[in-house]
């Protein structure tokens, strides 16, 4: 059953130096036309795969909040027509850039059912913000979040990054202190990963990207976990922390290995036991819908073996880990019949532990998560 919907707005006024998501510069793009094609894709998607238990919508990008008020109203109308929230606990998230939002946009979003905003803060250091290609500055964060609260938003998340070029442990600590002063409900914090086809990747190849040492990156992560706990944020996933009851329902859909729609250029879906990829370039996305009704460029039926692997390497991201009984219920086989050697090996390395009904990462394992996940690709 489809649990969630992700909708992708690929337009940005500025391309961040670390970003490898599907995105284009806003200027000169057919934004209105693109939104109409997203409307068509939503229509065809729910006809082909009717929703029955949708519990979250997440609008990401790109920068969704670059849409003007009229475009935003049109887009939100489409979402509510096809994917209307169905319960009081429904989570409807919009990604936002500090500084992009006006009070009019915020009110429109709230009135249209959006009840959670995720701000891409990344750091509170203005020099670092400039260095990573962000357009906002520290004061924009405080102003925009205060405005969102004033309008009526009660579930606000911020993204932070660490191990940025020239970033010091002291600078990261200062960003954390300022983040706590905002009194938000959720924080996602990620270390910088230098991806191909980004500005940072090109600088790295030229020897011009000066990153903190691995030792300092690990220290930043240790500080992150410790400070979050001190300030009442529960770590429920490797990179995600929330106050009680404010865990991201949408992201938990991914980590629980449940099905979801992906709408928009470059989006990915997991429906009817198939993983589906949409065309990324906007013109190809739109022409594919014209020709076939859907923008799909790849479909893959997930095998039972792949489902079991995904259950482990996605589920182990959660601090609760993977339920032994749920695995048996889902696949009619013991987790130890399939992954006994991998579990034993990772336990011996001190990276996994078994507690009650769960297999989960140890504290040490959180620092080496990718190594653990790789072990379950059989």
Q: Exposure pattern of 310-340 as b/e (b: 16+ CB <10 Å)?
A: bbbbbbbbbbebbbbeebeeebeeebeebbe
Residue 259 forms beta bridges with which residues?
Answer: 2
Q: What is the mean pLDDT of each run of 10 residues along the chain (378 residues)?
A: 94 73 79 98 96 90 93 97 84 93 96 96 93 90 97 98 94 96 97 82 83 94 98 98 97 96 97 96 97 97 97 96 97 97 97 96 96 89
Whether the Cβ atoms of residue 360 and residue 319 lie closer than 8 Å to each other: yes
pLDDT of 374 reads: 92
> What is residue 247's predicted lDDT score, i.e. its pLDDT?
98
Distance from C-alpha of 265 to C-alpha of 62, rounded to nearest angstrom: 11
Q: Residue 213 has what DSSP assignment?
A: P
pLDDT at residue 195 in the model? 81
The secondary element (H helix, E strand) that includes residue 9 is: strand 2-9
Two tokens at 347? 């336990």
- In the chain, the largest separation of any two C-alpha atoms, in whole Å, equals 58
Q: Where do the CATH 3.80.30.20 domains begin and end in the chain?
A: 2-254
Question: Are 175 and 124 within 8 A, CB to CB?
Answer: yes
Q: At what angle do helices 103-111 and 69-82 cross, to 10 degrees?
A: 10
pLDDT at 135: 87
- Residue 18: the pLDDT is 67
Task: Please count the residues of the chain.
Answer: 378
CA atoms within 13 A on the CB side of 302: 18
Which pLDDT score is estimated for 199?
A: 79
Q: What per-residue string of b and e applies to 148-184 under the rule 16 or more CB within 10 Å gives b?
A: beebebebbbbbbbbbbbebeeebbeebbebbbebeb
Helix (H) or strand (E) holding 212: none
Report the Cα–Cα distance between both ends of the chain, in Å, rounded: 26
Q: Provide the b/e sequence for 186-202 (b: ≥16 CB within 10 Å).
A: bbbbbbbebeeebbbbe
CA atoms of 24 and 283, how far apart (whole Å): 12
CATH number of this structure's domain 2-254, picked from the four choices 3.40.50.620, 1.10.287.110, 3.80.30.20, 1.10.3720.10 = 3.80.30.20
Provide the pLDDT for residue 123. Answer: 95
User: Quick one: which of 112, 102, 21 has its CA closest to 65?
Assistant: 102
CA distance 155 to 115: 7
Ranges for all domains in the chain classified under CATH 1.10.10.920 = 308-374
* Token pair listed for 350: 């001190």
For residue 96, count other CB atoms closer than 10 A to its CB: 27
* Cβ partners under 8 Å of residue 130, min gap 6: none
**Whole-prediction pTM value?**
0.94
Between CA 179 and CA 177 the distance in angstroms is 5
pLDDT of residue 210: 86
CATH of domain 308-374: 1.10.10.920
Read off φ and ψ for residue 277, nearest 5 degrees: -115, 135
- Helix, strand or coil for residue 211? coil
Residue 352 in 3-state DSSP? strand
pLDDT score for 132: 85
In this structure, what token pair is assigned to residue 171?
Answer: 């600078």
């Amino acid at each position: 059953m489809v649990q969630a919907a992700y909708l992708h707005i690929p337009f940005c006024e500025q391309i961040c130096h670390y970003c490898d998501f599907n995105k284009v510069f806003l200027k000169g793009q057919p934004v209105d036309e693109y939104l109409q094609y997203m409307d068509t894709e939503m229509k065809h998607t729910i006809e082909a795969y009717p929703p029955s238990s949708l519990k979250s919508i997440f609008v990401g990008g790109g920068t969704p909040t670059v849409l003007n008020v009229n475009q935003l109203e049109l887009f939100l109308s489409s979402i509510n027509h096809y994917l209307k929230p169905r319960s009081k606990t429904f989570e409807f998230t919009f990604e936002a850039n500090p500084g992009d939002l006006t009070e009019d946009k915020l009110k429109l979003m709230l009135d249209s059912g959006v009840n959670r905003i995720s701000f891409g803060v990344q750091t509170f250091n203005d020099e670092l913000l400039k260095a990573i290609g962000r357009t906002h500055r520290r004061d924009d964060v405080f102003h925009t979040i205060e405005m969102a609260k004033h309008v009526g938003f009660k579930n606000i998340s911020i993204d932070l990054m660490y191990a940025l070029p020239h970033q010091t442990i002291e600078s990261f600590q200062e960003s954390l202190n300022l983040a706590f002063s905002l009194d938000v409900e959720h924080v996602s914090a990620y270390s910088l990963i230098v991806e191909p086809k980004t500005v940072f990747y090109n600088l790295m190849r030229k020897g011009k990207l000066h990153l903190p040492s691995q030792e300092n990156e690990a220290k930043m992560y240790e500080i992150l976990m410790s400070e979050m706990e001190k300030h009442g944020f529960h770590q429920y996933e490797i990179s995600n922390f929330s106050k009680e009851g404010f865990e991201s329902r949408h992201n938990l859909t991914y980590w629980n290995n449940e099905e979801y729609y992906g709408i928009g250029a470059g989006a990915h879906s997991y429906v009817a036991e198939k993983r589906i990829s949409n065309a990324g370039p906007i013109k190809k996305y739109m022409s594919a819908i014209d020709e076939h009704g859907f923008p799909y460029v790849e479909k893959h039926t997930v095998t039972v073996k792949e489902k079991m692997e995904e259950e482990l390497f996605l589920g182990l991201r959660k601090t609760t880990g993977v339920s032994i009984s749920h695995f048996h219920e889902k696949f009619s086989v013991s987790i130890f019949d399939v992954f006994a050697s991998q579990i034993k090996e990772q336990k011996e390395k001190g990276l996994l532990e078994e507690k009650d009904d769960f297999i989960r990462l140890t504290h040490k394992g959180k620092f080496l998560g990718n190594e653990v996940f790789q072990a379950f690709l059989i």
